[in-house]
Structures are given as C-alpha cells and as structure tokens.
Structure 1
Amino acid sequence: MAGPARTLKSGTRHARKPAAKTMAAAGMPDLIPSDNSYLQRILNARVYEIAKETSLTPAKNLSKRLGNKVYLKREDEQPVFSFKLRGAYNKMAHLSAEQLAQGVICASAGNHAQGVALSAKKLGCRAVIVMPVTTPKVKIDAVQGHGGEVVLFGDSFSDAYGHALELEQAQGLTFVHPFDDPDVIAGQGTIAMELLRQHPGPIDAIFVAIGGGGLISGVAAYIKAVRPEIKVIGVQTKDSDAMVRSVRAGKRVQLSDVGLFSDGTAVKLVGEETFRITRALVDDFVLVDTDAVCAAIKDVFEDTRSILEPAGALGVAAVKQYTASHGCKGQTFIAITCGANMNFDRLRFVAERAEVGEHREALFAVTIPEERGSFKRFCELLGPRSVTEFNYRISDSAQAHILVGVATQKREEAAKLARAFAKGGFDALDLTDNELAKQHVRHMVGGRSELARNERLYRFIFPERPGALMRFLSTMHPDWNISLFHYRNQGADYGRILVGIQVPRGDNAALRDFLASLNYPFEDESNNPVYQLFLR
C-alpha cells in the first residue's frame, strides 16, 4: 500500500487531510483507478430503485445535554430497517441476466441478508443466505419473509462467510459480499451524498459504525472527495475492533473471537478494499463498550421513540464519548443510525445496562454490622438519593453484605458515595464497572439461611417517591429484624419489593397493625412453595 502507515488512538485528534485533488501528492493512495472513481460510482449508484432517501433528524434532547448540535441519519427507516439494502441492490443491479438467472448467495449477520433477499425479490432471482447461528430470530424471520433461503452456520460472520464460499462454488451462484466490493461500497456511499444535500451547512464530524468497513468506506470516499474538511470518525465496540487494530498495525489483523452483543458489527477480519480506504481516509476512531451502546439506544428512543439495534447506536455512543473526551461545545455532529433490527428479548438487558452506561447508576457491595438499626442508619446515609436496587439476605451473625444500586448524575459520584459510606462506618466496594456483578451476581443475592428464624415473607408495592423506604423502616417495630430485602427500580410509578421480617411469635397483632398502617398493597408469601424451596 502506498503512503506511510498512521498510528491512531481512540478519541485522539489528527490534522485535517488535504483536499481530495491533493491526496496523491500528500502520500495517500488513489482510491481506485482514475477512469472509474468511487465518486462516479456513488453518483451513478442504482439504490433508489428500491431504497429510500432517509431523514436527517435533529436529536434535540441529546444536543441540549451535550452542548453540540447532533443529527441522526436515519438508515433505520429503510424498508429492511438497515442501510445494507443500498449496497446489496447496487451490486445485484449490475449483474448480468445470466448471473441473476443462476442466483446469488451471501453471508451476513442479518442486515445484509435482508438487503440481498429483498433485492433478489425485486429482481426476480434466487437468494441463498448463510447466517451465523447467533443471528437474532427477528432477522432470520425477516429474510425468510422476503423469500430468502436461510442456511445457519457458525458463530460469527467469518464462519458463515467461509461456508457461503463453498456453496457458491458448488451451486454456481454469484457471491454478494456484505462490504468488500466496489459496487457495495458505492451503494453505501449514497448515504453521504444524501446527508450533505440535507445539511449543506458546516459539519464537524460524521460518526460511522464499522463492521467489515463497507459503510465507512463509502461514506469516507464521498465526503473526502466533496467536503474533505469534515472529519469521518469510525466506531467499533471494544470486543470487535478488527478495523482499529488493522489500521494501527498497518495490515489486516484477524481477531480470534468477537463480541456478539453488537452482532451487526461482529466481524473478525475486515475487507482488503475497505481496509485500504479506511486507512487512507478515516480521521479517527472511537471504541465504545456495551453499557455505552445501551445508553445510546435509550438516548435515541427518548429523541425519536425508535429503538435501534446495538450496531445502529454505535455512532451515537461515540458522539457522546468523543464530545466528553475532547470538551467539544457548539459543534455539529452527525451519527449514522445504521440499523434497527433489534431482537425484542434484548430490551431487558439494554434497559438494565443503560443507566450504568449513562453514569446514572452506581453499584456497590456494602458491609454493615448485623444489628438492629444498621439498615436504617445506612439508608439515612444515602439521604435523598434514589435507590435503584437493593439486595440483601441474612447470612452471618456479625456482618451483613448488601448489594445496592444508587442513582447518580455523573461518574464522579460513585467515588464520592464510597467515601461517604466509609466515613459512616460502612466498608464499600464499587462494582459499577464489574461485569460479574452487573451480569450475574446482582440477580443471585439470596438463598437459604439458618439465621432466618421466625421469618415472614411479604411482597410490597411501594410508591416510587423519596421517603417511601424510610417510612417503612421508621414504622416497623424496633425489635423486629429485616432478614431479606430485594428491590429493583423498573421505571414504573410503583416499585415492587420483597421483604423478609423476623417477628417474634407473640407479635402477630402488632404485625397486622404495622401492615395496616403502611397502606402499601402487599401479599403474604410465607407459604409460597418457591420461597420454601429456595429461600427458607
């Protein structure tokens, strides 16, 4: 490859590149032979025979929070809810009649598959789609709904890709590559053509998700040919960063494994052509984690009432991270929301992790003395802060270990809370960035306890307002002990709480009075077989 390799770091600034006409003089490689430039390919792409021009939507709430103008290029509005339709159709529209009659094949995690299947339906040809077994069912169903023949193989795109090449040879099909093909790249580049027409004013940077590199290659090729002053910033997840590693190494690097949360960008090895273009034209890269992506999905929902898939939210997550690390104010950023094929079951996980990703929740393991009043004293220490989760089960006669989530406004608050706990005499461990705690342990606190004698189990509905828990604790008899407590804020007006209370046998009347005075709806679960099997 001509020109020097550049070492890039996530979130770092780089000097602006020269205009397209002076790139060769600057040591940059030509994009493609001069008689067949990518600019010409993009201008002549046949995407609008099937794809639509998508909206450029202001993200008003996010813009206000960040102090910058943020726009969303809404590729989730396409008929297949992804930008992939553009490149797939442009490639297939350029095939010969003989090739179309024989049929096409592709390998895809889902979005390219839907693009190929719908394109084949419009062009009247057969389409065989090889998909990883990890592909969400919503994408498999969508491909089959467009008439595609689905073959499930392997755990990632790379596995499916190898199998598709075997089927291509065996059945005489034409392979439609999801990213490493000039016609596919040109089809994706029409997104940049649209957004510059929709926003002719100043743009500081465009944030583009990277899987195999087809989208960012097309966008960068057009932007740098027409508006080279605009930065093109690539985004990958920390566990699927093949392009970033490749650019840093100056050669394509194959990952041994990839994270599957953002399945649309789970690519072990980027394309040869996409690597060449990306290395030459992309200004910077940002790596984001799962929690940041979940928070970005929530941000887009709050601004548009649309739900993106993880890959579709990478650009938004990167805008937030980039503005925070660079202190940007008053600038204009565009994030390409490249897909919305979300498996509905994932929403539970997204909602759980979004608050952490937005630094709106801190998670702690706190040790308190196992004595009456310590729980109340701990809650008083929290003050007016909202508790998002509370898990506790009596297990030791001297100490109690509780897992507590607390609503925060910024990352620094977690450290401040930890110091406050220590000052109050409670040892605290910050678990906000602990994957084991966030994914598993927070759901597993509990179990049987020999110390839970005379325990009664109640399920309460608390109003979600400050003071509800303290009212409960203040009303409870001082001689009673809380032996189990579980609460998780689910975003509703009312919180559901499970409480174990150790009540002496002679205090049944006082217990009835206590429950009546609270005026909280409750159920006595002391005889529930699940309680008897797992907690008693």
Structure 2
Amino acid sequence: MPQKYLKKILTTRVYDVARETPLDYAPILSRRTGNRVWLKREDEQPVFSFKCRGAYNKMAGLSAAELKKGVVAASAGNHAQGVALAGYRLSAPTTIVMPRTTPQIKVDAVRSFGGKVVLHGDNYDAAYAHAREIATQRKLTFVHPYDDPEVIAGQGTIGMEIIKQHTGALDAVFVPVGGGGLISGIAVYIKQLRPEVKIIGVEPEDADAMERSLKAGKRVLLDHVGIFADGVAVRQVGEETFKLCKQFVDDMVVVTNDEICAAIKDIFEDRRSILEPAGALAYAGLKRYAEGKKLKDKNFIAIASGANVNFDRLRYVAERAEVGERREAIFAVTIPERPGALKQFCTILGDHNITEFNYRFADPKAAHIFVGVQIPPDTADAKKLVATLRSQGYATLDMTDNEMAKLHIRHLVGGRAPNAVNEILYRFEFPERPGALMNFLDKMGGSWNISLFHYRSHGADFGRVLVGMQVPPQDKKKFQKFLDTLGYEYAEETGNPAYKLFLS
C-alpha cells in the first residue's frame, strides 16, 4: 500500500492549479518555542488552502464523459472552493452542497469559480447526506473531501515538497487533522523517504475524532464537534485515512480553542499573515508538544493549512489570544463593599496590569468583581497571584478556563434578577441563520419565561447563546422533552460558579 501511494503522489497533476508553496523560516516563533520552526504556507494557494490539491487530482483522473456530466461535493468552505476551481479548469460542472449556515463570503467564493451552490441543512452532516442523494439521483461523481486515495495523494504532494525544500535535519512535521486526508498523504510520503521524521497530528479538544479513534483502535463517531476550527470539524475520520494514520502517524496533540487563538496571533506577529483557526492548528500543537516534552533546539515544520477566515471572527480571536498564550488570567474576586477597597485590591496586584474590570453594586457588604490581569507567559504567576489574594482574605476563583465566563459572563456582570425565581441557565449553539431564534421560541411555546439572554456574533457558522429560563421543579420532565426535540446542542450551566457569583 505505501508504494502504491508513493507512485500516486509522484504522478499527480495538482500543479495544473496548485503552486509549490514556500517553506518559511519563522524567527519569532523559533525564539518563542526555543526550537527552529518553519511554516509550510498552504495559505498561499489560489483558494487560500491546500484543498485544491486533492480535489483537482481526483477530478483530473476522471474520464471525459464523467467530467462532462459533472461532479458533486459537500463542504462548508475550503473543499468547496477546491472542487469549484478544479471544475473551472477542467470545464466540468460542479454542484456544491453547503449548509445554510455557511457565511456568504464562502458561498460567493464558490460561485466565483462557476460552481452551483445548493444550500441544505444546518451542518456538514446534513449537507453531505444531501450531496450523496444528488450524486445517486443524477449519476454524478462524488468528490469526497478526505476519504479517497486520489484526494489523499493530492494532499501528499505537500510531503513531497517538504522533503525537497528541507534537506537538513528534521525532527517532526505537525499537521492539522480533520477527516485525515492531509496527514495521511503527508505521512505516507515522508515516512517512505525519511522514516526518522515524526509525523504528529493536531486536533482541537472539541473535535478530536482521530485521537480517540487511534486510542480505541477503531473509528469513533463523536456525538458533537466544536465549530471554531470549522476546517477540521469532523465527527468521524475516514476508513482509508484511519488505516494510513494507524501505520504512519507517530503521535497526536489536542489543543484548546484559546491555544489556537494564541497561535493565530503568534503567526501574525511573525509573518503578518492571518490564518483561519484550522490553519493555525498545527503550530498550536507544536507549541504544546514542545512545551510539554521540554524540547529545545529541534527542527519542526508546521503546516499553515489555510487562511479563509471571516473578518468578524477576528474579534473573538483577539479576545481569547492572550488567555490562550497564558498572558492573561481571569479571576472572580470578592472584596469588601466599602470606600478604599478597590485601591487596596489594586495595591495587592502590584505591577500586574489590569486588562479588564467588570463590577456592579449588588450587596452592601461584599463586591464581586470580574477582573482580567496581565501575567508573564509560561509561568506559574497566576497561581501565585491567586494564593496572594486568598492570603489577604479575598475569596478568589480562577476563571481562565471557564468557557461560560469568558464567552458570556464578562459581558453580563451586575445583571442580577432577584425576582427570577426557579431560574435555570443553559448554553445553546444556534445555527447562524435567519429563523433560528424563532424556531427556539416556537418549540418553547409560552411554557416558561426567559429571564436572561446573551448572544454575540463571532463570525462562525453557529452562534453561542446563554439563556436563563424560569422553570418550576414540577416542569422538569416537560422541559427536558423540549430540549430533546429542539435539535440544538446545549449544556446546563446553572451550577457554574461564575453564574452564582455574578448573576443569580
């Protein structure tokens, strides 16, 4: 099997549309990690991601009759653009099924290459199923985004370029992982020529299908995937890609969304390029891997896989980057409600710069404040600061890793409602499309009063919403039935300490 892929990769036709991207040495990233770091710049492809390689290689191998009839694909972004570009170059009609939640900028990009866009469903799974139906009904060739030998071989040309461009010592190549097509192609090529080079996959913690599958020894289907790094948001890896990864991938790294945000910022500071979350994923994994294993003076390559980021998402990235780099800590602190208390609190902070401060009067004896503090990176300074505050008699909670606090509570501090009896709190993920809120309200009916609602757009396919509802104890079964029929992802937050301190 490896020899078969080696031949496929060496004889691909990807360079009809793709370019050989540069391997850029990154001096700032190298200094920051204590290792020599290069970025493989797939964000510089014509469609700003590597996906055009695999899509074109698959389609270039079709017969004239198949091309004339046309192809169909399902995608929310990069694969769609790759297929549309390949169709344009090969004069083949392309039908791309995209979720209705797909941002307009991505829909327009596909149409600019002549692709016909069909909007269907609220997520990739629904779009994929519909695309398969179209392929069967109209007898069109389906171009899979990752689980196809020709697509894998097309992505494998990145590994071929790396071997040619980097002839010196190389310790590891870090690759973002969604369905596994990219890492499979790179791994199967590099391991044949440079078996000593480690191939390390990187996934977000809320979309770690490959990590779980490799540990289980079989493909695992995730109940839910996170949407921030949408380029790798896959519930189940491919059959073929899983076989290849079992044989050729050395290790997997799982990172947080905050670490991805920090990686986007780091790469911008080094290259002045803004990558999409999935595009910066490999470098985020490199940082965690090197720090966790205390590696220095090694030679690492990270795949910068794409730059199709929505402008609106940059606000969210900027908010979270400092936390991801551990340059900002977020605390909930209780101080006395009296004149001079805030000054005394700031005195204890000493030279630490306050990055955020949220407060509203609620209790005549105690003040609950939500505060962000700048801290030196890569130190235990936050823990020391918590210990210092507690030793001075301040009840302190570290909220740096509290997702609800970072997404919602920081914007709601002081919004107490003493009359909101029987209030429960839930986080929902709403499809980012017209009618999503109305669907929620229709199914909820007039059964319970909404006592709190917070939403802020982050330029993603789904919006994150915090909702408080007044649900009497006797209505719990009825309420659970409502949740089960809603069709949105949800999580209860009534017991979250941030809610208890600032809202309840």
TM-score range, shorter chain: 0.7 to 0.9
Name the counterpart of 1:159: 126
Structure 1 residue aligned with 2:386, among 418, 435, 442?
418
In structure 2, C-alpha distance between the alignment counterparts of 1:252 and 1:427, rounded to whole Å: 45
How far 1:425 moved relative to its partner?
2.4
Residues in 1 aligned to 2:103 and 2:24: alpha-carbon distance in whole angstroms? 27
Alignment of 1:87-236 (within 5 A): 87-236=54-203
Aligned to 2:407: 439
What is the distance in 1 between the residues matched to 2:303 and 2:417?
52
* Residue pairs, 1:53-92, within 5 angstroms: 53-92=20-59
Is 1:281 aligned to 2:248, yes or no? yes
1:303 to 270, 273, 281: 270
Between the aligned partners of 2:267 and 2:102, the Cα distance in structure 1 is 23
- Which one of the candidate residues 297, 304, 309 is aligned to 1:342? 309
Residue 381 (structure 1) aligned with residue 348 (structure 2): yes
SS in 2 for 1:344: coil
CA distance in 2, matches of 1:260, 1:282: 25
Paired letter, 1:428: T
Larger deviation: 379-388 or 152-161?
Answer: 152-161
8 Å contact from structure 1 (residues 120, 127) kept in 2: yes
Aligned partners of 1:246 and 1:368: how far apart in 2?
Answer: 47
- Residue type matched to 1:99 in 2? E
More displaced stretch, 295-304 vs 251-260: 251-260
- Once the two structures are TM-superposed, the CA of residue 449 in structure 1 deviates from its matched residue by 10
The residue type paired with residue 381 of structure 2 is E
**In structure 2, distance between residues paired with 1:439 and 1:304:** 29
1:274, distance to aligned residue in structure 2 (A) = 0.5
Between the aligned partners of 1:182 and 1:443, the Cα distance in structure 2 is 48
Q: Deviations over 1:259-300 (max 9, x none)?
A: 111111111111111110011110000001100000000011
Inter-partner Cα distance in structure 1 for 2:289 and 2:344: 41
Deviations 1:13-43 (A, max 9, x none): xxxxxxxxxxxxxxxxx44xx6xx1111101
Partner residue of 1:403 out of 370, 385, 405? 370
SS in 2 for 1:39: helix
Asked whether the equivalents of residues 185 and 217 of structure 1 are also in contact (C-alpha less than 8 Å), the reply is: yes
Identity %: 60
Q: Secondary structure at the match of 1:191?
A: helix
Distance (whole Å) between structure 2 residues aligned to residue 87 and residue 447 of structure 1: 51
**Cα distance per residue 1:148-171 (max 9 Å; x no partner):** 111222343333211111000111
* Separation of aligned partners in 2, 1:377 and 1:401: 15
Using the alignment, how far apart are the partners of 1:279 and 1:421 within structure 2? 48
Amino acid at match of 2:408: H
Q: Say which is worse superposed, 129-138 or 75-84, in terms of deviation.
A: 129-138
Looking at structure 1, the residues matched to 306 and 279 of structure 2 have their Cα atoms a distance apart, in angstroms, of: 4
Q: Which amino acid letter does the alignment assign opposite residue 412 of structure 1?
A: A
Q: Tell me how far apart the structure 2 counterparts of residues 139 and 203 of structure 1 sit (CA, whole Å).
A: 36
Is contact 1:156–1:267 with CA below 8 Å preserved after alignment? Answer: no
Q: TM-score, normalised by structure 2?
A: 0.81
In the TM superposition, residue 248 of structure 1 has moved relative to its aligned partner by 1.4
Query: Superposition RMSD on alpha carbons, in Å?
Result: 1.4
User: 1:66-107: per-residue Cα shift (whole Å, max 9, x none)?
Assistant: 110011000000000000000001111111000010001011
C-alpha distance in structure 2 between counterparts of 1:227 and 1:323, whole Å: 21
Q: Distance in 2 between matches of 1:269 and 1:157?
A: 12
Alpha-carbon distance in structure 1 between the residues aligned to 2:247 and 2:99: 31
In structure 1, how many angstroms separate the alpha carbons of the residues matched to 2:20 and 2:381? Answer: 43
Contact 1:157/1:268 (<8 A) preserved: no
Q: How far off its partner does 1:411 sit?
A: 5.0
Partners of 1:261 and 1:368 in 2: how far apart?
35
Secondary structure (helix, strand or coil) at the match of 1:120 reads: helix
1:47 aligns with 2:14: yes
Which residue type is aligned with residue 60 of structure 1? P
Deviates further, 417-426 or 390-399: 417-426
Contact 1:138 1:341 in 2 (8 A): no
**Alpha-carbon distance, 1:329 to partner:** 0.4
Cα deviation for residue 140 of structure 1 reads: 1.7
8 Å CA contact retained: 1:81, 1:339: yes
Q: Where does residue 367 of structure 1 map in the other structure?
A: 334
Shift of 1:383: 1.2
User: 1:447 Cα deviation (Å)?
Assistant: 4.4
Higher Cα radius of gyration: 1
- Matched residue, 1:21: none
The 3-state SS of whatever aligns with 1:240 is coil
Alpha-carbon offset, residue 251 of structure 1? 1.4
Q: Distance in 2 between matches of 1:54 and 1:235?
A: 21
CA displacement at 1:133 relative to structure 2? 3.0
- The CA deviation at 1:448 is 8.2
